[in-house]
Amino acid sequence: RTSRRFAAVDLGASSGRVMLADLSDGLALTEAHRFPNGPVRVADRLYWDVLGLYREILAGLRAAGPVSSIGVDSWAVDYALLDASGNMLGNPVHYRDDRTRGVPEQVARAVGAEALYDANGLQVLPFNTLYQLLADRLDDAATMLLIPDLIGYWLTGETGAEVTNASTTGLLDVRTRSWALPLVKQLGLPPGILPPLRDPGDAVGGLRRDVAAEIGWSAPVRAVGSHDTASAVAAVPAAGPAFAYVSCGTWSLAGVELPGPVLTPESRAANFTNEAGIDGTVRYLRNVMGLWLLQECLRAWPGADLGELLAAAAQEPAFAAVVNPDEPVFLPPGDMPARIAAECRRTGQRPPSSPAGYVRCVLESLAIGHRTAVRQAMELSGRDVEVVHLVGGGSRNELLCRFTADACGLPVVAGPAEATTFGNVLVQARAAGLVSDLGEMRALVAGTQPLRRYEPSGDLRAWDEAAARLF
Ligand code: ADP
Ligand code: LRH
């Protein structure tokens, strides 16, 4: 029945998908369409192929068939500018582009790092929207739309800014969840380009007639937690509050869910972020470089098979070399094994000598990154944690799940891999009256999806020693 079917458009940094969820009997998910995503370099600039993504979204919606509503989420921070007629000005730039070099430092000098954190509660990442806007040309810009809001605009003709994703711009007031207009003005940015905010669950609009004709059916678009990480955290299958999460795909977003922000000097020094979650929650977390490290290694080894490499990595010696996954040198695309080797040499370690050795190094390093972020989140927030939920594509990586449990000294519950999609469709289902609150949404995921539990079994002291090499 259409009334219990929902479509989720989920654009990850490595792949996009259109998923179909059916709540007629539990919660069943099918993949209508999946397509690759990644940076496109043109001369000295990195872009997203946003029009290609839009074409694949339309193909996916056509394949999905009629649903009750559609929700769109994507990676955070990136945007398109529209002119006064609603035309896109230029192609959206990829967050791994280096155009913001030096801008965070300039802003810290102008505004003060403390004042900035007190206003937006955000970790400093060079690609936060505010830094990108300051590096951009805004002359003809009438509206800035974050990527899911841009897709929503193309589908419906309606503009707006969904609040969970708006919280990653650096321009949202962390306390009031409205645009931080004094900060916007202080930065010299035009406040008029910021569209009205909307909440997850709000109506976006009906499909444009030409879009409905192209996909063969029509349905309203509904705002969801349009920041993919907000949707993923909403679908973490936790039973109570004593959990940490690692939303693990291209990035690992590791932290806890809180009722309010943590804005202490210690929190700022640890570069923890207070992003907006569903229902007024705060996603208190830090970005860890994530499986990007592995994706870029694989790109350097044409023909390599991920399954075979993971099996070989499990046989490699432990802690031969570990690196800090968050070194800025790993952020841009390029030869990842060479950069890891250079980082090993810089820190007095012998670089791995085979692809399996690199994979082992990446997974141990990531597990240490997860552990450090989870422990700091606990300490800085005072939140008790009994279990770490690892969701996203990384939950399919058994070695990484096991290392994360061992490194944290806590059980890891792995799955679902498509947590983001579940969060997306469950917010739509709630707007349709099919589920009630966050607790019920999580219970539905926990009760219907296969999860795997990893007890910490390794030698915690060995992980302590390896972690001490990095931080
Ligand atoms: P994003 O949303 O950022 O594009 P995903 O959550 O889709 O990322 O996760 C993609 C990552 O998941 C891949 O880079 C890969 O490392 C990992 N992954 C996916 N499937 C598997 C698998 N079968 N085994 C091991 N790892 C996997
Ligand atoms: C993960 C993610 C993350 C952001 C990054 C830009 O896909 O949305 O939460 O920090 O992309």
Greatest alpha-carbon pair distance for the chain in Å reads: 62
At 394, the pLDDT band (50, 70, 90 cuts) reads very high
Element (H or E) spanning 426, and its range?
Answer: helix 419-431
Ligand 2 site, residue 373, Cβ cutoff 6 A: no
Compute the mean pLDDT over every residue in the chain, rounded to the nearest whole number.
97
Confidence at residue 471, expressed as pLDDT on a 0 to 100 scale: 65
Alpha-helix residue ranges (DSSP H) falling in 191-245: 209-215, 228-234
Ligand 1 site, residue 152, Cβ cutoff 6 A: no
What does the alpha-carbon distance between residue 400 and residue 362 come to, in Å, rounded to a whole number?
A: 9
To the query of whether residue 83 is one of the catalytic residues in this protein, the response is: no
Q: For the segment 287-329, what is each residue's pLDDT rounded down to a tens digit? A: 999 999 999 999 999 999 999 999 999 999 999 999 999 999 9
Q: For the segment 132-151, what is each residue's pLDDT rounded down to a tens digit? A: 999 999 999 999 999 999 99
> Nearest ligand to the C-alpha of residue 414?
1
Average pLDDT, integer, range 187-213? 98
Which numbered atom of ligand 2 lies nearest the CA of 76? Answer: 8
Confidence at residue 458, expressed as pLDDT on a 0 to 100 scale: 78
Q: Are 253 and 285 in contact (CB under 8 A)?
A: yes
Range 34-41 contact pairs with CB under 8 angstroms and sequence separation of 24 or more: 35/60, 37/11, 37/12, 37/13, 38/13, 38/14, 39/94, 39/96, 39/333, 40/94, 41/333
- Catalytic position from the list 73, 78, 149, 228: 228
> Nearest ligand to the C-alpha of residue 245?
2
Q: For the segment 41-70, what is each residue's pLDDT rounded down to a tens digit? A: 999 999 999 999 999 999 999 999 999 999
Q: How distant, in Å, are the alpha carbons of 239, 269, 276, 340, 408 from that of 436?
A: 15, 38, 20, 47, 33
Q: Ligand 2 centre from 148 Cα, in Å?
A: 13
In this structure, the residue with its CA closest to atom 6 of ligand 2 is: 76
What does the alpha-carbon distance between residue 228 and residue 312 come to, in Å, rounded to a whole number?
A: 32
Q: How distant, in Å, are the alpha carbons of 305, 389, 414 from that of 459?
A: 29, 21, 21
At 1, the pLDDT band (50, 70, 90 cuts) reads low
Query: Which residue, among 96, 247, 80, has the nearest Cα to 148 in the 3D structure?
Result: 80
Query: Which residue, among 416, 434, 386, 443, has the nearest Cα to 29 in the 3D structure?
Result: 416
Ligand 2 site, residue 6, Cβ cutoff 6 A: no
Average pLDDT, integer, range 387-398? 98
Residue 214 has pLDDT above 90, yes or no: yes
Q: Ligand 2 centre from 76 Cα, in Å?
A: 5
Which of 93, 287, 288, 424, when mutated, tests ligand 2's pocket best, judged by the most ligand atoms within 8 Å of its CB? 287
Query: What's the distance, CA 423 to chain centroid?
Result: 13
CA angle 392, 398, 404 (to 5 degrees): 80
Average pLDDT, integer, range 222-226? 98
3 state SS of 144? strand
Average pLDDT, integer, range 223-239? 98
At 470, the pLDDT band (50, 70, 90 cuts) reads confident
Residue 377 has pLDDT above 90, yes or no: yes
Buried residues in 264-296 as b, exposed as e (16+ CB within 10 A):
eeebbebbbbbbbbbeebbbbbbbbbbbbbbbb
Average pLDDT, integer, range 84-112? 98
Q: For the segment 16-33, what is each residue's pLDDT rounded down to a tens digit? A: 999 999 999 999 999 999
Share of residues in the chain with pLDDT > 90 (%) = 98
Q: Hunting for tokens 């500018």 — which residue is that? A: 81
DSSP β-bridge partners for residue 227: 74
Residue 251 has pLDDT above 90, yes or no: yes
What does the alpha-carbon distance between residue 404 and residue 63 come to, in Å, rounded to a whole number?
A: 37
Q: For the segment 149-176, what is each residue's pLDDT rounded down to a tens digit? A: 999 999 999 999 999 999 999 999 999 9
Average pLDDT, integer, range 371-385? 98
Query: Which residue, among 420, 446, 117, 95, has the nearest Cα to 278 in the 3D structure?
Result: 420
What does the alpha-carbon distance between residue 289 and residue 11 come to, in Å, rounded to a whole number?
A: 18
Residue 124 has pLDDT above 70, yes or no: yes
3 state SS of 461? helix
Residue 21 class from Cβ within 10 Å (0-12 exposed, 13-18 middle, 19+ buried)? buried
Q: Which runs of E-coded beta strand occur in 269-386?
A: 273-276, 282-288
Residue 394 class from Cβ within 10 Å (0-12 exposed, 13-18 middle, 19+ buried)? buried
Q: Are strands 40-42 and 28-36 parallel, antiparallel or unpaired?
A: unpaired
